Structure 1
Amino acid sequence: MKDGNVEEALQSFSNYKKLHGLPEPRVLNSMIVSLSYMSSRRWLQRAFDMVLSVYQINRNLLNCGSLMRLALALARDQMPVPASTVLRIIMESRKLPDVDMLSISFLHMLKSQVGSYLATDVLIETCESFLDQVTDRREMKKLDPIKNNATLFNMVLESCVNFKCIIMAQKVMELMSLIGVVGDVNTVVMASRVFEMVGQRDELIHMKRSIDSLTSLTFLQYYQHFYDSLLSLHFKYNDMDAAAKFLIDLHQERKPGVFFCGGLQKQSIIQIGSGNMKSGYRIMFDPEKVDRGFVLGTESQFGLVVLTDGNLLHTEKALAKLVIGCVKSRNMHILSSFFITSRKDGLELISPQDVVNACIQMGWLHSAHDIIDDLESAGIPVGITGYISLLRAYEKENKSEEFNCLLQQIQKIASTMDDIHTNSPFTIKNIAKVVKYEIPLSSSSLFAALADEIKHYKPEEHLTLEFNNSVLFFCKAKMMEDALCTYKRMREQNIRPTSHTFCHILRGYSSMDMHREITMLWGEIKRRLEYGELDLDRDLLDCLVLNFLKGGYFSRVMEIISYMSKHNIYCDKWKYRHAFLKLHKNLYRNLNSLHDKTEAQSKRIEDVRAFRLWASIK
């Protein structure tokens, strides 16, 4: 190996192993390290194969340091499956891997979807393994290296959000609470994105109360992501009142002394679920701490809040969502109140005239008229252009009743308008005299934003979110009957359940070891998948496999594994194999020992045999 004759060294190793067995650990681990530094993927694979062969014979010969170097090399070369296997072998030795090297390994693994699944699983398994070893709170010091590395968890949470793994994301956050991880500003961002993905608006509102008082100019670029997530959920819940108030508050906080505070609290809390510590979780975070190595994008995820010249501002996309929400819910009073309040507070958010014109261009004539009426009643001038544009639109659409009504309205207030001076009767015949020349409405940026956002508008999304949130609440409280009643009401109202609905119910059943009920849930999920009523969710299927393994439903295990293979969904064979060995190691050890078998027993033995064969269990 020292001379670079790798092939000869490996041949010598093979010959020595045949004659004398495995060499001493020093030689063995030296070879693994040397192969880890090779640039060729071929040698990395040989190193991995060597580790597996030694692991099967005598795992005590393997050194954690050399294994960690190999895991890092495999991860860097985008070989996430072998990398995760090596990390799991380290974990089985009940030794905590070097956290800095683990972070770098995860950084490479998280670049791919499969790598993301595996890195998240390894982190969860590592935390759970060491928590199981802790019998006294004083022994928690064993976890200090991982507890003090918030970036490790932040990276994994970000990948969970990117790949829509809500079960894994929730599990990681719960483990952060149990271990006592003290998060940083990035943790707030990642937690807010998880809450947004799951639809937990109450948690974000609770966080806002403390974050409003914590935010300093230094960390404003990070907190814009939090506000972006909260505003996104206001829109998804169709709560236009809350969204409008949020936008007003956002601009009011630009005033000196309102948004920024002199001294920050040392620590604050991210509350997950109930405030009752028996059923809820809390993550502490330091508002003055941030890992500059964890790079967040400068643009917010949903494009609703932007940082400009040291101030958080709403984007045109946010305003477009507010307008669409008010129009579709037929509650233009909210939008009008938004304009009136902003004018009273001296905030220049947007010209009402621009909104009126954009509504006219979108064909929302009655909505535009409602805004004009409300602003007129509040004594806020709209300008003659808005009236004329709406008048022309009514004429073009042959809406004579609305046309005449608006014409009379203009005649009453014509003398008060700054941009019109005429003593002649204001009729359709002399519109040309009032407006020097007819200018068609130009396509404004707001109109373009409205036209784009209306394509993505989901009228019943808020109902789905509300039901899902109720299901989640009941499942966390282990009130499964109430959760199922909520699910039934959801179906009765023809509101299609989402993968989130089933994830919540599955986690609820799983927390209570209700495996028989999970089999019935799988039947419902499978039916909806077959009819195209449910999107494929790897996180959901993975959780089902683990629960069926735990409950001993091997026919269901093989059914889901077959389904995942058919749809090219990654199956974590190592995880499933070890779950089986942990729970059913001696189950039907001698598969031929039962002579007088019933048909059910024969089928069960056949399923166990099929799983053993698939998982390479001898």
Structure 2
Amino acid sequence: MMELKCRIDGVSAAYVRHYRQFYDSLLSLHFKFNDSDSAGKLVLDMNSSHNCHNNEECRNHLQKPCFIATGSPNLKNALKIHIEPELLQKDSVLKLEGREGLVFYKGGKLVLSNRALAKFIIGYKKDGRISELSKLLLSIQGEQYSVAGSSLSSDVIAACIQMGWLESAHDILDDVEAAGSPMGRDTYMLVLSAYQKKGMQREAKALLKQMKKINLHYELSDDAIHKHILCEETSNSVGKSDLAVALTQLLKDENQTVIPLVYNFNSSIFFFCKARMIDDAMRAYRRMCEMKIQPTSQTFAYLVRGYSSLGMYREITFLWGDIKRFMKNSYLVVDRDLYELLLLNFIQGGYFERLMEVIGHMNDHNMYTDKLMYKNEFLRLHRSLYRTLKASDSRTEAQSKRLEHVQEFRKWAGID
């Protein structure tokens, strides 16, 4: 996907409108995984990359027809897409279907919709990173990559106030001021009147002092503030701004979401493991952990099968460590199927210490273990392993411990 993006980024600005749906889909994918930083980078790259190819040689190279493999580069017979960046002409009869959800084409540029801005606001607010949101707003505003244009920051502040997020609105106000681009008097008055209306006198006084420092304190009598509050109440009675409506709808959609995000991650991990794209599967798993989304027994089962298909038994021992940690620190419930999967793989890989740990966990939870199945698997792979070796014959401490665990398993499985 990123290789495809690099090719599309090389298209000249005259043809960028044909790739609106691509950027819309890629932005949606970043939001799906709550990756606001990558989404923000994509927005900033969305137009600048099409205007910065002054190097004619580089530009010609990027616009040459090429084949791009889909999926993992490790696949021998992967499907390929034939890309001809300049194939679409202005008079092309090809019309991409689908509604414009996050990205619009306007004024010769790709710009963000209010829905996309709302996703950024909610994403950064949930992470407690309003300062990062402010930086993004200033960057977008500077390049006019949004439908709001130069009033973007003030529109976001107004929407936050309408949503009741006064602290976030004030934080953005401070960040914009600190960046050397203070907002106009009306925006400050908007926040001030919201504080007055909520009875937050301490915050209102602090904002007044702030306004005096940048010479916005003139004509701030009580009557003027009261008049501004009445004006705001009148405008609010008419209705919320488009951005505030988008925020409200997104929050409503999130509350109505039935399928937890964990199932989306599990679906992705299953696909990657099935295609033997284990690195991609682990990236999805690590992202899952970063987002503090609780992995399920199914998550680990997919990963174990993925590693097993590649014969990477050592990595399964690391997964077992993660499983034990999640069982200890959270509410992960490991089912019998996952335990059996671990047992078979530890026998195949020869990790008998881990094998006995799993057996111990199963005994602690009163789970049935098919000793005959594990016995047959052991005899198939390790029939003569340490059969005649005694503890006194061990050369190293590691070999001595391994012998101890093998003998322990033999005794448990009833192997003479």
TM range (shorter): 0.5 to 0.7
Q: Match of 1:287?
A: 85
> Is the Cα–Cα contact under 8 Å of residues 173 and 183 in structure 2 kept in the other structure?
yes
Alpha-carbon shift at residue 394 of structure 1 (Å):
3.3
Which of residues 26, 32, 37 is equivalent to 1:230? 26
Alpha-carbon shift at residue 381 of structure 1 (Å):
1.4
Which of residues 251, 271, 289 is equivalent to 1:454? 251
The answer as to 2:117 corresponding to 1:319 is yes
Give deviations 1:297-345, integer Å, cap 9, x for gaps: 2744xx1112224322222221121112122222111210012334556
Q: Match of 2:273?
A: 474
SS of residue in 2 equivalent to 1:231: helix
Cα distance in 1 between the residues matched to 2:263 and 2:55: 34
* Superposition map of 1:248-327 within 5 A: 248-253=44-49, 255=51, 261=59, 265-278=63-76, 280-289=78-87, 295-297=95-97, 299-300=99-100, 303-327=101-125
User: CA RMSD, aligned part only?
Assistant: 4.5
Q: Match of 2:162?
A: 361
SS of residue in 2 equivalent to 1:210: helix
TM-score under structure 1 length normalisation: 0.40
Q: Match of 1:414?
A: 212
Give deviations 1:68-125, integer Å, cap 9, x for gaps: xxxxxxxxxxxxxxxxxxxxxxxxxxxxxxxxxxxxxxxxxxxxxxxxxxxxxxxxxx
* Structure 1 residue runs without a partner (length 5+): 1-203, 513-618
Distance 1:462 1:248, change over 3 A: farther
Q: Match of 1:405?
A: 203
Cα distance in 2 between the residues matched to 1:464 and 1:393: 41
> Is the Cα–Cα contact under 8 Å of residues 232 and 304 in structure 1 kept in the other structure?
yes
Distance 1:352 1:463, change over 3 A: farther
Alpha-carbon shift at residue 243 of structure 1 (Å):
1.8
The answer as to 2:40 corresponding to 1:244 is yes
* Superposition map of 1:108-127 within 5 A: none
> Is the Cα–Cα contact under 8 Å of residues 267 and 287 in structure 1 kept in the other structure?
yes
Cα distance in 1 between the residues matched to 2:206 and 2:95: 59
Alpha-carbon shift at residue 359 of structure 1 (Å):
0.6
Alpha-carbon shift at residue 366 of structure 1 (Å):
1.6
Distance 1:277 1:362, change over 3 A: same
Which of residues 177, 200, 212 is equivalent to 2:9? 212
* Superposition map of 1:35-46 within 5 A: none
Distance 1:461 1:452, change over 3 A: same
Cα distance in 2 between the residues matched to 1:288 and 1:207: 14
The answer as to 2:172 corresponding to 1:375 is no
Q: Match of 2:131?
A: 333
Cα distance in 2 between the residues matched to 1:379 and 1:417: 14
Give deviations 1:181-213, integer Å, cap 9, x for gaps: xxxxxxxxxxxxxxxxxxxxxxx2232112101
Cα distance in 1 between the residues matched to 2:153 and 2:277: 49
Q: Match of 1:385?
A: 186
Q: Percent identity?
A: 30
* Superposition map of 1:503-522 within 5 A: none
Deviates more, 1:273-282 or 1:205-214: 273-282
Q: Say how many residue pairs are matched.
A: 292
Cα distance in 1 between the residues matched to 2:229 and 2:169: 23
Alpha-carbon shift at residue 473 of structure 1 (Å):
3.0
Alpha-carbon shift at residue 257 of structure 1 (Å):
5.2
SS of residue in 2 equivalent to 1:438: helix
Alpha-carbon shift at residue 404 of structure 1 (Å):
0.8
> Is the Cα–Cα contact under 8 Å of residues 115 and 246 in structure 2 kept in the other structure?
yes
TM-score under structure 2 length normalisation: 0.56
Cα distance in 1 between the residues matched to 2:5 and 2:34: 19
SS of residue in 2 equivalent to 1:242: helix
Cα distance in 2 between the residues matched to 1:251 and 1:417: 36
Deviates more, 1:438-447 or 1:322-331: 438-447
The answer as to 2:235 corresponding to 1:439 is no
Alpha-carbon shift at residue 294 of structure 1 (Å):
6.1
Cα distance in 1 between the residues matched to 2:156 and 2:93: 42
* Superposition map of 1:84-103 within 5 A: none
Q: Match of 2:377?
A: none
> Is the Cα–Cα contact under 8 Å of residues 240 and 322 in structure 1 kept in the other structure?
yes
Alpha-carbon shift at residue 466 of structure 1 (Å):
4.6
Q: Match of 1:91?
A: none
Quick one: which amino acid aligns to residue 32 of structure 2? K
Quick one: which amino acid aligns to residue 234 of structure 1? H
Quick one: which amino acid aligns to residue 66 of structure 2? S
SS of residue in 1 equivalent to 2:190: helix
Q: Match of 1:602?
A: none
Give deviations 1:419-470, integer Å, cap 9, x for gaps: x525xxx67x455389596333442221222222222237996655455444
Q: Which has the higher contact order (CA 8 A, sep 6+)?
A: 2
SS of residue in 2 equivalent to 1:296: coil
Greater Rg over alpha carbons, structure:
1
